[in-house]
Structure 1
Amino acid sequence: MLGQAIRSLLFYAVFYVQTAILAIVIGVTAMITNRRTRFGWTLALYWIHSHILALRLLAGVKTDVAGEENIPPGPCIIASKHMSDWDIFAILPGARRPAFIAKKELMDIPFFGQAAMSFDTIRIDRSLGGEAIPALMEDARRALANGARIIIFPEGTRKPPLAEHDYKWGIVRMYEELGVPVVPVALNSGLFWGRHSLVIWPGTARARFLPAIQPGLPADEFRERLVSAIETGSNQLILAAYDEGLSRPISPELREKLEALKQGIAPDAAQTPTS
């Protein structure tokens, strides 16, 4: 436990120092050019791959991403489960020209905000509630017109493995109004790098891009298919990791859910998604 905690702290030191330096460089470049540049994207890819390497060497977390062939060649929305900061490393390279949906407050961080905006980041002001949707849609249309693929975490926040899901209606509004395919993404990263966790546990974090949901479905049918794809896929990846053996401590609550999953009982089988 102590040894893994030290390894995790070493990774965090690399992660935060390097992120700060690269944010300043990309942010300054963005302020000068006022647009996305090949130089900025090259640094972003370096940020991703260097931290994937650091995770493996320092914390013992391997990365396994598959299914990129399911991403359509044109504009689309990539809708992913969100358990960990690792998810960004997994999704960004496959998106090729990503446009994240992010909280407006993040754009106020010096340099980081300028760097994020240079990558077609779509701002959402949660304090406005439903009134934020028109501005979000305008930014989303701009990003798609620029050739970007929009990345969204439909639950809006990181969730622990097998926690009750909570898919917002924003993704449904985007699906209806933007008229592009939606690619679900399943993952199990929270088993190894959890939300607010100081210790990162060894193992293989996996993400899977699943077959795209084509535009034109009724809203309720789309939402049901999206939730089913992401939750079923994520549960399968979590169960596979559990069967392989986990080095992390497992709480009685999580073990009960994992054992139920082995018996074919989905954690949210009796739950209805909330708005």
Structure 2
Amino acid sequence: MYDFGLSIRSLCFNVGWYVGSIVIALVGMPILLLPRRAVVAWARLWIVFVLWWLRVTCRLDHRLVGLENLPKGPVLIACKHQSSWETLSFTLLFPNIAIVLKRELLFIPIVGWAMARAGNIAVSRGEGASALRGLVKQAKAAIAQGQSIVIFPEGTRVAPDAEKPYQVGVAALYRQLGIPVVPVALNSGVFWGRRKFIKQPGTITMQILPPIAPGLGRDAFMKTLRERIETATDRLVEEARRSHAP
């Protein structure tokens, strides 16, 4: 049955998101000239607004569990990617991070410039070995500054029931950085699907899983990473669907 109320709430969210984001971007544009910490604080303010508006309009909240599994110091966070929600939330939920993202995003006026000034890691698709070397170089520089790295191993958003191979970038960083890899599972795609207008009410769960220590071979690492992320993600997705079943 068509839910008119749900459509109206989703429309209100989208309108408020775009209008509010434009206002925050224009008013805060001079902050781009300030040091990185000021740019990050500006980004966090924007994210707080978006997530608050998401709760108010769509009744969609979130929770972060498993913080006890996050080691101290810089780590490589490998997260499942189902939705725009996690790309928004990471900067707010995790302090001092650099997110691996598509280079094309940096060309978005103001928002893209802020992503660059915040110290995120831009990678060009389709450049093969050159892109991989650039990724490792930027990641090492971020780690040297005490930042943790966030990477989405599949390289793109993937619906809860779909599968994509894990890309070589995460294995290269694991081998080259020599730091723990922290797998992260979530069920955001159940509520905020890829390219979906409707935002379902409920609570998105992001779970931090036990870290993978350095030293594994590439195949063993990739198998361990995928099993941990996919197993936990399947469970979280099933729990979300079961709790929202009619």
Fold in common (TM above 0.5): yes
* 1:182 is the counterpart of 2:188: no
Equivalent position of 1:49 in the other structure:
48
Deviation at 1:88, TM superposition (A): 2.7
Report matched runs for 1:112-191 at 5 Å: 112-191=111-190
Q: Secondary structure at the match of 1:162?
A: coil
Q: Deviations over 1:105-139 (max 9, x none)?
A: 11122222221112111110113123211111111
CA 1:114–1:186: 2 relative to 1, 3 Å = same
* 1:18 is the counterpart of 2:23: no
Q: Secondary structure at the match of 2:36?
A: coil
User: Could you tell me how far apart the structure 2 residues matched to 1:119 and 1:69 are?
Assistant: 26
Runs in 1 of length 4+ with deviation above 4 angstroms?
24-27
Contact map agreement 1:203 1:246 (CA 8 A) in 2: no
User: Could you tell me how far apart the structure 2 residues matched to 1:242 and 1:170 are?
Assistant: 32
Equivalent position of 1:3 in the other structure:
5
Gaps of 5+ in 1: 248-275
Q: Secondary structure at the match of 1:150?
A: strand
Equivalent position of 1:36 in the other structure:
36
TM-score normalised according to structure 2 size: 0.93
Equivalent position of 2:202 in the other structure:
203
Q: Which amino acid aligns with 1:73?
A: K
Q: Secondary structure at the match of 1:126?
A: coil
Deviation at 1:41, TM superposition (A): 2.6
Q: Which amino acid aligns with 1:49?
A: V
Equivalent position of 2:213 in the other structure:
214
Q: Which amino acid aligns with 1:14?
A: G
Equivalent position of 1:272 in the other structure:
none
Q: Which amino acid aligns with 1:194?
A: G
Q: RMSD over aligned Cα, in angstroms?
A: 1.7
CA 1:23–1:222: 2 relative to 1, 3 Å = farther
Equivalent position of 1:73 in the other structure:
72
User: Could you tell me how far apart the structure 2 residues matched to 1:86 and 1:44 are?
Assistant: 14
Deviation at 1:141, TM superposition (A): 0.9
Q: Deviations over 1:3-50 (max 9, x none)?
A: 1111101111122222333344555322x23x312x333222222222
* Equivalences, count: 244
CA 1:221–1:23: 2 relative to 1, 3 Å = farther
Deviation at 1:89, TM superposition (A): 4.0
Q: Deviations over 1:161-201 (max 9, x none)?
A: 12123211110011001111111110001011000001111
